[in-house]
Amino acid sequence: MWEKVYQKIDELYDRMVEDRRYLHQYPELSFEEKETSNFICRRYDELGIPYKSNIGGYGLVAKIEGGKPGKTVALRADFDALPIQEENDVPYKSKADGVMHACGHDGHTATLLAVAEAVKEFQDELEGTMVFIHQPAEEYAPGGAKPMIEDGALDGVDAVFGTHLWATTPLHTIEITKDAFMAGTDRFEIIFKGKGGHGAMPHQTKDPVVMTGQAIVELQQIISRRIDPLEPAVLTIGVIESGEAFNVIPDTATLKGTVRYLNKDVQEQIIDEMHKVLKGITDSYGAEYELDYFKGYPPVINHDRETDFYLEGGTEIPGIDTVTDVPPVMGGEDFAYYLEERPGTYFFTGANIEGHDYPHHHPKFNINEKALPIAAKALLHGYKKYQKA
């Protein structure tokens, strides 16, 4: 059966590209993906595959029950875009001002739709039940995975698999690892509450701008001097906001940033150390601070057996020549929530366009569309192997 399914996927290549490019032209931000969800629903209507929509928001869960007994395995694709102005000069450039599929989710959706269409043709020969999870709002925590799970997306599911088209990884390659594969991703906002005044009379103020300068340096020392160097962690300041005039010391200053970690104990240690640093700085100025710390996605923790399907047998997948056991990536993914509930694994499918090495979330990000059928077959590999496990 599987050889026939793979052949069908190859025959659907033009349709996959068409779907991907259509979605690329009409991107929608997290929690706003109404038309994208409708597009997916229409495709399942055309295919005659039963589904439920509005799962945990704009999410959609479709299902193909095979003609032979077996396990129930879910495959997941996300479909939201990012607030980025596209700079690619391509015929399918985004038509939405300031919104772009700069992470490949358009390709993920096209891939999973092709899997559904190919498998539907051979439904009577399928062992088990294949579940298709189309998820909104991956890009912005609290994300779409958790509400979909709470709304029943994993009910009756035995295992779950997902892939990310990875634009900086060569075509014909899978990257994966056991245990922690992607980081937990938090964000924070720090407000320094000082006392403003004239820039010529700093002694009469409690300068929050100076406090931010000290904080930027000292917060970095949490990672370099207080966290075990064998524990991966990142603390990055991305935003500094303060003042409106060059000769006025403002009352407040704000820092915004992100924390990444693989070990939840390290997460708690970083939060505790941040409070110590900020209290020390503000106490020395007779000022105050406010730390708003938002715990985002947990780390993506791959399960050993399901990961071995790829580490030990990934080159069986048509189009895959290399499977690389890679170090964890400090980017995040709310696929983590599925893996907290069910066994499974998450991996990268190489989608690099040779000579076009722009990373994810870049205005010139793009994927090699030849990776679409490869990713489809790679997802099916997990399903197939789990039926025999």
Query: Which of the residues are catalytic?
Result: 80, 138
- Determine the straight-line distance between the first and last CA of the chain, rounded to whole angstroms: 18
Q: Is 103 annotated as a binding residue?
A: yes
Q: Was 244 annotated as part of a binding site?
A: no
Which secondary structure element, helix H or strand E, spans residue 239, and what is its range? Answer: strand 233-241
Give the three-class secondary structure for 29. Answer: strand
Beta carbons of 67 and 120 less than 8 angstroms apart: no
Give the side-chain half-sphere CA count within 13 A for 371.
Answer: 29
101 labelled binding-site residue: no
Half-sphere exposure of 260 (CA within 13 A, CB side): 16
Q: Is 26 exposed, middle or buried (0-12, 13-18, 19+ CB in 10 A)?
A: middle
Amino acid in the structure at residue 321: D
Distance CA 147, CA 153 (A): 9
- 285 phi/psi in degrees, rounded to 5: -105, -5
Task: Please give the structure tokens belonging to residue 210.
Answer: 């100076």
362 is in an annotated binding site: no
CA dihedral 372, 324, 138, 254 (to 10 degrees): -130
Annotated binding-site residue? 105: yes
**Is 36 within 8 Å of 53 (Cβ atoms)?**
no
Q: Return the H-helix or E-strand segment holding 72.
A: strand 68-78
Distance CA 107, CA 13 (A): 12
175/125 Cα distance (integer angstroms) = 30
Binding residues: 103, 105, 139, 164, 361
Binding residues for Mn(2+): 103, 105, 139, 164, 361
